[in-house]
Amino acid sequence: MPISAIAAADRAFALLVRGPDPLQLDGRDVPGLPRRRLTLDTVRDLLVGGVDTGVSDAVWRILSAHARADGPAWVVGAVGVAVPGLTLIASRLAHGFAKQADDIGSEVVAGFLQALRGDDLKGPRVWLRLCWTAWRTGHAARRTETTLELPHDLPVGSRTPRFPYGHPDLVLARAVTAGVITAEQAELIGATRLGGTLVDHLAAELDVSAPVIRMRRRRAEQTLAAAIHRGDLAVRANRARPR
């Protein structure tokens, strides 16, 4: 029986951090890490245990640079370091979609790799932005249900979809485009409500208290809810002009 993409990545990662020449980072290159050579599984343990945002950002920029320049082993190494977070994202997205769990996991990994290899990682909160891309691609796989058997009593014909027409990530993107909320507020809602990021972890990364994060999220959600209630985010259908 084939194993999931995330499990396969974790197995490959385990091989890379064993033996006489395991993949390593030099902790002296990142203030805040132990000042010695660190195997990537040690780096993963340190990140999971909690580090300052600046430390996390520096580590992920280094891993990304290696993945882009130094071959497949470093790609596997970077994904392996991310496995705990990717596992959480995939498990949250697969809840209620058990038949699509493998596809969701594969797309979560694919989205993460896309961001790792191609995104501009110069800004802050690198890990959250990598996870946000992974969540979006995984969520898209959850919406694709063409392989599932349709029920016999499925209604036919067209009907008007519910406002504001779209899945949560699209609603957030539309709200940002409309100027209802900021991109930062959308990322906060998406990461904590949809992406599996814990408020306490985010608060630690931003060096603020958890109540402050919850207050910011509540204000953003109230603004978003009011816009949805007013119909500000509804997609208007293009009416065909009479010929």
Mean confidence (pLDDT) of the chain: 77
Paired sense of beta strands 37-39 and 24-26, if any: antiparallel
Determine if the pTM surpasses 0.75. Answer: no
* CA–CA separation, 71 and 1 (whole Å): 29
Q: How far is CA 59 from the centre of its chain?
A: 17
Confidence band of 63 (pLDDT split at 50, 70, 90): very high
Q: Give the pLDDT confidence of 218-243 residue by residue, as tens digits.
A: 888 888 888 887 777 765 444 334 44
* CA–CA separation, 205 and 56 (whole Å): 9
Which segments of the chain does DSSP mark as H helices, in order?
5-16, 40-49, 53-69, 72-94, 101-118, 126-143, 168-177, 183-189, 199-206, 210-230
> What is the per-residue pLDDT for 42?
92
> What is the per-residue pLDDT for 167?
53
> What is the per-residue pLDDT for 118?
83
Q: Give the pLDDT confidence of 188-203 residue by residue, as tens digits.
A: 888 777 766 777 777 7
Yes or no: say if 48 and 29 are a contact pair by the CB < 8 Å rule: no
Locate 213 and state its tokens: 């994060």
Locate 112 and state its tokens: 């993460």
> What is the per-residue pLDDT for 196?
66
Domain ranges of the chain: 5-143, 168-230
Nearest CA to 197 among 175, 181, 217?
217
Triad 18, 21, 25: Cα angle to 5°:
90
Most confident of 119-133, 137-151, 167-181: 119-133
> What is the per-residue pLDDT for 242?
40
Reported residue count of the chain is 243
Q: What is the CATH number of domain 168-230?
A: 1.10.10
